[in-house]
Amino acid sequence: MQSQETNAFSVQHSIQNGIEWITYIPGQRRFETPIFMQHGMWHGAWCWQLWQELFAEWGWESHAISLPGHAGSPTQRPIYFCTLGYYLQFLKTAVKRLPCKPILMGHSMGGALLQRYFKYVDNELPAAVLVAPWDLRGNLKDGAFLRWLRLDPIGVLLVSLLGSTRPYIRTPKQAARKLISPKSVYTPEELHARLSPESAWVMYQHTPPFWYPPKQVKTPLLWLAGELDTVIGVESERKSAACYQADFLVVPEAAHNIMMEYNYCETAKTIHDWLIKRGVK
């Protein structure tokens, strides 16, 4: 285990049972409920660093993991055979390790995993934050697949042929076009260098008839959409949030990776204030 400390927080970085964990422990804890952060396609626990630092400064303990074959987690099965059900088991196991039910936070595919967690594991948590999550895909016109096809037909063709979504973020320019705005704190080169391969199967699994959302989620939800998100449209996100009866917020000038945009601090503060308003302690 590696660790580092500042006056505001300490950081623990470890590999546990083949899964990378990054934990931020506040120097002055104000809240008992931990935050658990689940990354999306191509990313890893590293993508939450800016928010983990802020939440630690505000008194929250947070945990982020990397799924197998992502970032610091070694591959446990070929990426082409990874499914949302497979990934869900790691999320489930990780949450069980925490001392109490956490606030769940999921980005993109991580948001899809949270929706599965609500349906198959537990839908009564203190709170959850869906960060540019995959929408419900109930309307093909609003669905992500057609949006991706219009954005990058060559990338979609290569994904279909190879069974990997890596071609969709094949260059720094292509990765940036889909994931960040020109104002992001990451450059296209910095972002692209940290991205991992991802299975194509996971995308197809979040589409009817293979997936239908839970009928009721008792967990208080905050749904964030990026105003400039080229991967998932704001209106599609708005409709999906309404189906879940979630509080909905469009983050101005933000692309898909909301947590690494120039206004990441203001967005994190909005989440922090929302959690307090919801009475999470």
> Residue 165: helix, strand or coil by DSSP?
coil
pLDDT number for residue 210: 79
pLDDT number for residue 72: 96
Q: Which of 206, 55, 228 is nearest to 22 (CA)?
A: 55
Q: Alpha-carbon dihedral of residues 232, 265, 249, 218, nearest 10 degrees?
A: 100
Q: Tokens 């934990």 appear where?
A: 23
Cβ burial 76-112 (10 Å sphere, 16+ → b, else e): eeebeebebebbbebbeebbeeeeebbbbbbbbbbbb
Radius of gyration of the chain (CA): 17
Q: How far is CA 104 from CA 125, 171, 215, in A?
A: 8, 31, 19
Q: How far is CA 99 from CA 35, 36, 268, 275, in A?
A: 12, 12, 24, 19
Cα–Cα dist 148/159, whole Å: 11
- Number of other CB atoms surrounding residue 208 within 10 Å: 12
pLDDT number for residue 140: 41
pLDDT tens for residues 228-256? 999 888 998 999 999 999 999 999 999 99
CA end-to-end span of the chain = 29
Cα–Cα dist 112/134, whole Å: 6
Residues whose CB is less than 8 angstroms from the CB of residue 161 and which lie 6 or more positions away in sequence, other chains included: none
DSSP letter (8 states) at residue 222 = E
pLDDT tens for residues 51-82? 999 999 999 999 999 999 999 999 999 988 99
pTM: 0.94
pLDDT number for residue 209: 79
Q: How far is CA 167 from CA 39, 154, 176, in A?
A: 19, 9, 13
Residues whose CB is less than 8 angstroms from the CB of residue 196 and which lie 6 or more positions away in sequence, other chains included: 42, 43, 44, 69, 70, 71
Name the CATH architecture for the domain at 2-277.
3-Layer(aba) Sandwich (3.40)
| Angle 59-61-64 from CA coordinates, rounded to 5° | 140
Cα–Cα dist 54/159, whole Å: 36
In the chain, the percentage of residues whose pLDDT exceeds 90 is: 77
Establish how many alpha carbons lie within 13 A of residue 194's alpha carbon, considering only the half-sphere containing its beta carbon: 18
Helices 144-151 + 153-162 axis angle, to 10: 120
pLDDT number for residue 82: 93
- The domains of the chain are located at 2-277
Contact in structure between 102 and 34 (CB atoms under 8 Å): yes
Phi then psi for residue 14, to 5 deg, are -150, 165
Parts of the chain with a pLDDT under 70? 1-5, 137-145
User: Beta strand pairing status for 103-107 and 128-131?
Assistant: parallel
pLDDT number for residue 123: 94
